[in-house]
């Protein structure tokens, strides 16, 4: 780290916040040492509550790595075979394309269309409960596939919805209970939970968007999020994902190898993207939907870790902050490499 790092990054972040008003929590950790962190703005503007390291953000798609760990734990316990059809463990999925496997779900090569890509689903159905989602799986099977399984890679939430439903069917536990006991608490994530609209959670952050130039609060999204976008967490707990990957926790070493091996079709591992960034391997996932933007980046070569959790659903702060932290720390302004594309429509 160069001597001018702190001045450069502090100046950048403060000016960025003044210009864009992106609230959230930003942290850079290197070899388990916090090198830089900054709480920005408000967890709740109306109540005048500032963001702190305890603030709990809706992760949206950053939920997927944890769902993958939960499902793959069942693989390691020989309760599922990820090369089997999802219908093997979930009767409502039997009507899906005969060549789909759980492996295809995990790296987004299934070819399944999302529920919310179809107008009739948006108008007629509400996929909030497990039972509703199971019922709708039988309906989505009638829709045209995006491509034949294993021939292309397109990121869709339905893949991880099915993974969560498989967890419930195989274990006989509610997804939230299974994840709490077998993933969150095991990793030391004691403030993290699977969220739903009935929960009253202390330190919950309010999400915001911009409408006609004004910052306005959003209503929480509860439809079609099971397994793919339903976790709420804080910056300290998210760092446990770094530890899980680095120390190969919960899963067997050979399973972690599969998790971190990207598909040549889309650079997706299991619940993460594995791609090149400044000439180094980057393991990452982000989340973005109504009211929130989240990001976790891990560079194993340097044990370099970035977390950004934001309740401001505008602009491209995730990419801008990550780039500035890397370039300031390493004095490296070279080409940043592959651009990770997910959460289409949410920069």
Smallest CA-to-CA distance from 145 within 96, 91, 102, 87 is with: 96
In this predicted model, what pLDDT tens digit does every residue of 217-260 receive, in sequence order? 998 888 899 999 999 999 999 999 999 999 999 999 999 999 99
DSSP E strands: which ranges in 15-68? Answer: 24-30, 33-40, 42-44, 49-50, 57-58
pLDDT at 204: 94
* 338 pLDDT above the threshold of 70: no
φ, ψ (nearest 5 deg) of residue 329: -70, -45
* 174 pLDDT above the threshold of 90: yes
Nearest 5°: CA angle at 80, between 191 and 161? Answer: 50
**Tokens representing 1?**
């780290």
pLDDT at 202: 87
- Rounded Cα gap, residues 181 and 177, in angstroms: 6
* 343 pLDDT above the threshold of 60: no
pLDDT at 340: 55
Task: Let me know: does 75 contact 132? Beta carbons within 8 Å.
Answer: no
Smallest CA-to-CA distance from 167 within 104, 108, 79, 240 is with: 79
CA 270 to chain centroid? 12
Q: Which residues share a beta bridge with 44?
A: 49
* 210 pLDDT above the threshold of 50: yes
CA atoms within a 13 Å half-sphere pointing along the CA-CB vector of 296: 26
* 93 pLDDT above the threshold of 80: yes
- Rounded Cα gap, residues 266 and 150, in angstroms: 11
CA 305 to chain centroid? 15
3-class SS at 217?
strand
Q: Which residues share a beta bridge with 294?
A: 287, 309
What are the domain boundaries of the chain? Answer: 5-330
**Out of 95-109, 155-169, 319-333, least confident range:** 319-333
Name, in order, each residue with C-beta under 8 angstroms of 106's C-beta and a sequence gap of 6 or more: 68, 71, 72, 82, 159, 163, 270, 271
* 100 pLDDT above the threshold of 80: yes
In this predicted model, what pLDDT tens digit does every residue of 29-57 receive, in sequence order? 999 999 999 999 999 999 999 999 999 99
N- to C-terminal Cα distance for the chain?
A: 29
- Rounded Cα gap, residues 271 and 157, in angstroms: 11
**What mean pLDDT comes out for the span 125-150?**
92
Question: Where residue 347 falls among pLDDT bands split at 50, 70, 90?
Answer: very low
Looking at 3.40.710.10, 3.40.50.1000, 3.40.630.30, 3.40.50.150, the CATH number of the domain 5-330 comes to 3.40.710.10
């Amino acid at each position: 780290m160069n001597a001018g790092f702190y001045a450069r990054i502090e100046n950048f972040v403060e000016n960025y916040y003044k210009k864009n008003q992106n609230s959230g929590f930003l942290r850079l950790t290197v070899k388990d040492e916090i090198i830089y962190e900054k709480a920005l703005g408000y967890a709740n503007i109306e109540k005048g509550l500032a963001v702190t390291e305890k603030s709990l953000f809706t992760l949206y798609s950053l939920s997927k790595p944890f769902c993958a760990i939960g499902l793959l734990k069942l693989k390691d316990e020989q309760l599922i075979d990820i090369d089997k059809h999802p219908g093997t463990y979930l009767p409502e999925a039997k009507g899906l394309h005969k060549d789909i496997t759980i492996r295809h779900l995990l790296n987004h090569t299934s070819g399944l269309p999302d529920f919310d890509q179809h107008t009739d689903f948006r108008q007629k159905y509400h996929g909030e409960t497990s039972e509703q989602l199971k019922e709708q799986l039988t309906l989505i099977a009638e829709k045209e596939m995006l491509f034949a399984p294993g021939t292309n890679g397109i990121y869709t939430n339905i893949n991880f919805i099915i993974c969560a439903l498989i967890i419930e069917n195989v274990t006989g536990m509610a997804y939230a209970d299974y994840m709490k006991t077998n993933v969150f608490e095991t990793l030391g994530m004691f403030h993290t939970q699977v969220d739903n609209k009935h929960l009253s959670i202390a330190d919950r952050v309010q999400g915001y968007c911009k409408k006609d130039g004004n910052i306005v609060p959003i209503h929480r999204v509860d439809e079609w999020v099971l397994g793919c976008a339903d976790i709420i967490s804080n910056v300290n707990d998210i760092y446990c994902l770094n530890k899980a990957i680095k120390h190969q926790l919960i899963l067997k070493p050979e399973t972690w190898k599969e998790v971190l091996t990207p598909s040549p079709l889309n650079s997706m591992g299991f619940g993460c993207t594995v791609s090149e960034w400044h000439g180094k391997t980057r393991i990452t996932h982000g989340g973005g939907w109504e009211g929130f933007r989240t990001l976790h980046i891990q560079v194993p070569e340097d044990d370099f870790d970035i977390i950004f959790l934001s309740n401001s659903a505008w602009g491209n702060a995730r990419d801008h902050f990550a780039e500035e932290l890397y370039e300031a720390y390493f004095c490296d302004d070279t080409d940043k490499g592959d651009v990770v594309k997910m959460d289409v429509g949410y920069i």
